[in-house]
């Protein structure tokens, strides 16, 4: 974040952060980007699981992660840790790196 310098009446420099509305806009944009990433990750997990012919129940049993949590992840509502993502990828016989969606979504894919 960039700090803005202003001069007070007494001639001494004072520091101010950018306005709150700019910070909120930046945080909202970042949160939107995070949500899009989690949705894409969930879609990828669901697709790969389907390609492997695995039900959520089987994936849950093999990975040690609850079926309910897998459903949350697949819907893009769960914020998965790297350790759990590794357990999911191992259960499906994949490399962890292959589970992570690459690139930023194009502007037309954003909501």
Q: What is the distance of C-alpha 70 from the center of its chain?
A: 15
Q: Is residue 68 part of a domain?
A: yes
Give 48-97 pLDDT, tens digit per residue.
Answer: 999 999 999 999 999 999 999 999 999 999 888 999 999 999 999 999 99
Residue 46's domain comprises 21-101
**pLDDT value of position 21:** 62
Give residue-wise pLDDT tens across range 24-56: 666 666 778 889 999 999 999 999 999 999 999
pLDDT at 4 (0 to 100): 45
Residue 65 belongs to some domain of the structure: yes
And the tokens for 9?
């009446």
Q: What is the CATH number of the domain that holds 69?
A: 1.10.260.40
Residue 15 has pLDDT above 60, yes or no: no
The tokens for 42 are 């969930």
The per-residue pLDDT for 60 is: 97
In a domain, 90, yes or no: yes
Alpha helices (runs of H) in 2-111, residue ranges in sequence order: 20-51, 56-63, 67-74, 82-91, 96-99
pLDDT (mean) for 4-16 = 50
Q: Can you give the pLDDT at residue 5?
A: 45
At residue 109, does pLDDT exceed 70? no
The per-residue pLDDT of the chain, averaged, comes to 79
Domain tally, the chain: 1
Predicted TM-score of the model (pTM): 0.66
């Amino acid at each position: 974040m960039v700090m803005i310098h202003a001069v007070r009446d007494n001639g001494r420099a004072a520091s101010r952060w950018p306005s709150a509305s700019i910070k909120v806009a930046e945080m909202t944009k970042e949160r939107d980007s995070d949500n899009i990433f989690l949705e894409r990750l969930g879609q990828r997990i669901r697709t790969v699981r389907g390609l492997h012919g695995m039900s959520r129940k089987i994936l849950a049993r093999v990975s040690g992660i609850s079926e309910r949590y897998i459903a949350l992840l697949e819907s893009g509502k769960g914020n998965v840790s790297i350790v759990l993502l590794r357990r999911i990828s191992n259960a499906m016989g994949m490399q962890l790196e292959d589970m992570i969606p690459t690139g930023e979504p194009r502007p037309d894919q954003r909501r």
